[in-house]
Chains A and B, each alone.
Chain A
């Protein structure tokens, strides 16, 4: 079974430029998560989707970050404009969404460097 797929794996941009990250969850997984991981720290949730609906986006900086999950499968996370402090690893995870034994499986992440 294929795991969570993310692209690109690495991205280097200049500040004020836009950037987008793509995630394809495990087949059949209804719940999708975007986490932010700063260097030397644990991941922090940005947004959680159940199918197409964003059910937890309280930690998403909505002035510059946006996300979408059209058709309830793939998801895109966008930053516009990027700031120096956005340099981090952006992790996507998915879970079955069945409620019990709902393990979150993580992708390899996208490492963003903002110059």
Chain B
């Protein structure tokens, strides 16, 4: 089955700096790669996703890149704000509606 590894497990940045979280996956059949943000006591919330036919996708301060050959994808957050502080999960699946395999999560702290 699919295995997703995520790094780093914790990340602390100053407000306004950029943050980068990286994930690798094992199953070449995976074609869908979402990123979820989870705040304390809440369920995961989708912030951006990318499919295998696209190398990069951007939504305001958030961008995701995908290297399907190397089987890795990354989340980039620019101009970080304190409200970006949360746990971020990457995931992979064959299609958007099928089983998501999640990474272990990254605790992002943005210091004012």
Residues on A facing B (Cβ under 8 Å):
4, 31, 35, 40-45, 48, 56, 91, 93, 95, 97, 99-109
Contacts and interface: CB of A to CB of B under 8 A. Distances in A.
Given A41-B104, A42-B91, A42-B104, A106 B99 contact: no
Nearest to B4: A42
Interface in B61-112: 89, 91, 95-100, 102-105
Nearest to B45: A106
Closest 10 CB pairs of A and B: A42-B102, A106-B43, A102-B97, A102-B96, A45-B99, A106-B44, A108-B43, A42-B89, A107-B43, A95-B97
Contact of A56 (B41, B99, B104): B99
Contacts, number: 60
* Majority secondary structure, B binding face: loop
Contacts of A108: 41-43
Size category of the B interface is: 20 to 34
* Majority secondary structure, A binding face: loop
A44 B46 contact: no
A58 B53 CA distance: 29
Contacts of A41: 102, 104-105
Contacts of A100: 96
B43 A4 contact: yes
A99 B4 CA distance: 23
13 contacts: A4-B43, A40-B104, A42-B89, A43-B44, A56-B99, A91-B44, A95-B96, A97-B97, A99-B97, A102-B97, A104-B34, A105-B46, A108-B42
A45 B95 CA distance: 14
Contacts of B89: 42-43
B43 A42 contact: no
A42 B95 contact: no
A104 B91 CA distance: 11
Contact of B43 (A95, A99, A109): A109
